[in-house]
A and B are shown apart, each in its own frame.
Chain A
Amino acid sequence: EAGVVQSPRYKIIEKKQPVAFWCNPISGHNTLYWYLQNLGQGPELLIRYENEEAVDDSQLPKDRFSAERLKGVDSTLKIQPAELGDSAVYLCASSTPPGTRNNEQFFGPGTRLTVL
């Protein structure tokens, strides 16, 4: 069974440019997460979806970040415009809904963003 798929794996852009990351969760996983991982730090949650609904986006910087999960499957995270401080790894994870049995979060390999 395929795991969580993310693309691209690496992205280099100049500041003020837009960028988008794509995530395909494990089949049947209704819950999808986007995390930000700065160098030398643990991941921090940006947004959590239950199907197509964003149920926790309190940590998402809404002035420049946006996300969508149309049809409750794939998801896209966008930054516009990108800033130097956005250089980091963006991780996607998926799971069965909170409270369900054995709902482990499975992580994708991440997208490493470098903003020049």
Chain B
Amino acid sequence: AQSVTQLDSHVSVSEGTPVLLRCNYSSSYSPSLFWYVQHPNKGLQLLLKYTSAATLVKGINGFEAEFKKSETSFHLTKPSAHMSDAAEYFCVVSDGNTDKLIFGTGTRLQVFP
């Protein structure tokens, strides 16, 4: 069965510093992996997705993630945090047969001025 583990429930950074949100996955076959962002009172928005093409995936708003099979990781990074990045971030793995999404527990990102 597929699952994801988000290693940090909260991450705090200063504006302009790098962001790292960590995610490990478990899958019996080559997974499809996603990062979604959820701002307060707004719907979940897809940041980026990995589907067995390039291992370094670039997403919206300057975010990117690297698929590392040897480490079963799919960490989300951004070189320079912006105040508007403050939100809840979810790492997600997909059941390849049905596209069922399995969400992690989320990481709340705080950005301080």
A and B physically associate: yes
Question: Complex: how many Å from CA A91 to CA B100?
Answer: 14
Q: Confirm or deny: A107 has a beta carbon within 8 angstroms of a beta carbon on chain B.
A: yes
Give the bracket for the number of chain A residues in contact with chain B: 20 to 34
Q: Indicate if the CB atoms of B105 and A41 lie closer than 8 Å.
A: yes
Interface size class of B (residues with CB under 8 A): 10 to 19
What total count of A-B pairs have CB within 8 Å? 48
CB-CB nearest in chain A for B49: A104
Contacts of B42 in A (CB 8 A): 109
Please tell me if the beta carbons of B99 and A107 are within 8 angstroms of each other in the complex. Answer: no
When distances are taken between beta carbons in the complex, the residues of chain A under 8 Å from B49 are: 104
Query: Looking at the complex, which one of B44, B98, B104 makes contact with A107 (CB distance below 8 Å)?
Result: B44
- Distance between Cα atoms of A41 and B88 in the complex (Å): 10
Instruction: Check A25 for interface membership: any CB of B closer than 8 A.
Output: no
Q: Is the interface of B mostly helix, strand, loop or mixed?
A: loop
Are the CB atoms of A41 and B106 closer together than 8 Å? yes
Q: Assuming the A-B contacts A3-B43, A43-B44, A91-B44, are A105 and B106 also in contact, with contact meaning beta carbons closer than 8 angstroms in the complex?
A: no
Bound together, the chains give a CA A38 to CA B66 distance in angstroms of: 29
How far is it, in angstroms, between the C-alpha of A62 and the C-alpha of B44 when the chains are bound?
Answer: 26
| Residue from A3, A41, A56 in contact with B100 in the complex, judged by beta carbons closer than 8 Å | A56
Instruction: Decide if A79 is an interface residue (CB 8 Å cutoff).
Output: no
- In the bound complex, residues from chain A placing their C-beta under 8 Å from that of B92 are 42
Most-contacted residue by chain B among A4, A103, A105 (CB, 10 A): A105
Given contacts A98-B97, A104-B49, 8 further A-B contacts (CB under 8 A): A40-B105, A40-B106, A42-B90, A42-B104, A44-B103, A45-B101, A107-B44, A109-B42
**Which residues of B line the A interface, CB within 8 A?**
36, 41-46, 49, 90, 92, 97-101, 103-106
Residues on A facing B (Cβ under 8 Å): 3-4, 40-45, 48, 55-56, 91, 93, 95, 98-99, 103-110
9 pairs from A and B in contact (CB 8 Å cutoff): A3-B43, A40-B105, A41-B106, A44-B103, A48-B98, A105-B46, A107-B36, A108-B43, A109-B42
